Amino acid sequence: MREMNLDDNSNNLVQSLTNGDSEKISTSRFSSLLASKDRDYLLSSTEADQQVRISDLEGKLKSNGSNFEIVFVSSDEDLDAFNSYRESLPWLSIPFSDLETKKALNRKFEVEGIPCLVILQPEDNKDGATLYEGVELIYRYGIEAFPFTKERLEELQREEKMKHESQTVTDLLTNPGRDYILGQTITGKVPVDSLIGKTVGLYFSAQWCFPCAKFTPKLISIYQKIKQTLEEKGGEDFEIVFVSNDRDQSSFDSYFGTMPWLALPFGDPTVRTLAKYFDVQGIPCLIIIGPDGKTVTKQGRNLMNLYQENAYPFTDAKVELLEKEMEEAAKNLPRSVYHAAHRHELTLVSEGTGGGPYICCDCDEQGSGWAYQCLECGYEVHPKCVRAVAPAGSIEGR
């Protein structure tokens, strides 16, 4: 499931033609990609019936001063939908009727899903000159990604690494107009600085999201157990901050009202900043920040599903310890079982014996390491989710 406002309603492959030095791109290359035997033009965005000859694209790129153009390749279901959608787009389009060119582009660039943005560089004979991750690059870096060259992307990655290495919880959660987050207290405001020195989970979620509705109650239970354990031990502390992707204030208020932790205000610009910064592409997502303000893991949700409250403090050392404990525990598990929710026999597997990362068919959460797997149909469940029953044909199962 994609979340965080990535324009999931855009039924399109968007082909970015060029950037940088447009003189280095030949008209014949444009034609081979975008023309057909019956058509040598694209549709303009300015007028419904205006055509732009593909042979004129080089001059168009020079005249607009940007050396950059996008061509819309539609996957709309009918012409009316295409025309309606195209009205909102400021770039060129391949005519809706030209299915052959669309299919050829899909094959050439191995398009498997939309939205998809393929970016062609001026010198396409260089390694890495064609970029297939245009949507992700725009989502993460916005206009800063231009001109999408290898050098520019490496520069952005270096800058991003430096930001992560120097991050603090204060930098992450405040902005020039706000130094607090919302709490469940009478005043409703909690200073962000009160989180310094604590392990903090950033919980990206929304009321409308079905997987979130299933995971949030589980997270609440685990959160309360971790808090209780830490209070008994004294010294350490753990907190969660809800980062909402709800669609309106009332949904946020209703959803946050069920939670025992803190939250960023609804609609706060920091929400989108954090989603980009941590490259959050789906919800629910739980990012763990350590007491020093640095990122511990982006896999908080998976770790809690696997190890519940034992996952705390989510460090590599703790995960390694838990994995060893799981290996030892697996030695005492039956090699095969029958599960109440499945008709076939399930076999115990690990990553080394045919298993691997999977989605548990019982709780719908991710798993890794050990699993019970149906060798007939691929059904897989966490060992902890198995409800063992006798085989249907046995005396016990009659």
Q: Which of 8, 81, 82 is nearest to 43 (CA)?
A: 82
pLDDT digits (tens, 9 = 90+) for 25-76: 455 567 788 888 888 899 987 766 688 888 877 666 656 556 788 899 999 9
Q: Are strands 116-120 and 130-131 parallel, antiparallel or unpaired?
A: antiparallel
pLDDT digits (tens, 9 = 90+) for 303-328: 998 888 999 999 999 999 988 888 88
Distance CA 386, CA 374 (A): 12
- Residue-wise burial string across 217-249, b where 16 or more C-beta atoms lie within 10 A, e elsewhere: ebbeebbeebbeebeeeeeebbbbbbbbbbeee
CA dihedral 211, 215, 217, 220 (to 10 degrees): -140
**Distance in Å from the first CA to the final CA of the chain:** 41
Whether 302 and 314 have beta carbons less than 8 Å apart is answered as no
pLDDT of residue 272: 92
Please confirm whether the linkage preceding 265 is cis (ω < 30° from 0): no
Average pLDDT over residues 324-335: 84
Q: What domains can be seen in the chain, in order of their start residue?
A: 29-162 (3.40.30.10), 169-322 (3.40.30.10), 333-385 (no CATH)
The pLDDT-based confidence of 275 (bands split at 50, 70, 90) is very high
Average pLDDT over residues 92-100: 91
Q: Is the pLDDT of residue 174 over 50?
A: yes
CA dihedral 242, 243, 248, 254 (to 10 degrees): -10
Q: Is the pLDDT of residue 22 over 70?
A: no
Whether 51 and 95 have beta carbons less than 8 Å apart is answered as no
pLDDT of residue 124: 57
The residues facing 92 across adjacent strands are 71
pLDDT digits (tens, 9 = 90+) for 198-244: 999 999 999 999 999 999 999 999 999 999 999 988 878 999 999 99
Conformation bin of residue 207: beta by default, left when phi > 0, alpha when psi is -120 to 50: alpha
Distance CA 234, CA 23 (A): 67
Rounded to 5 degrees, what are φ and ψ at 32?
A: -65, -30
Kindly write down the DSSP assignment for every residue of 176-213, as one continuous string. TTB-EEE-SSSS-EEEGGGGTTSEEEEEEE-TT-HHHH
pTM: 0.70
Whether 284 and 301 have beta carbons less than 8 Å apart is answered as yes
Q: Is the pLDDT of residue 270 over 50?
A: yes
The pLDDT-based confidence of 1 (bands split at 50, 70, 90) is very low
> pLDDT: is 106 or 350 the higher one?
106
pLDDT of residue 188: 85
Average pLDDT over residues 156-184: 92
pLDDT of residue 361: 87
Q: Which amino acid is at 43?
A: L
User: In the 8-state DSSP scheme, what is residue 264?
Assistant: P
Distance CA 303, CA 59 (A): 55
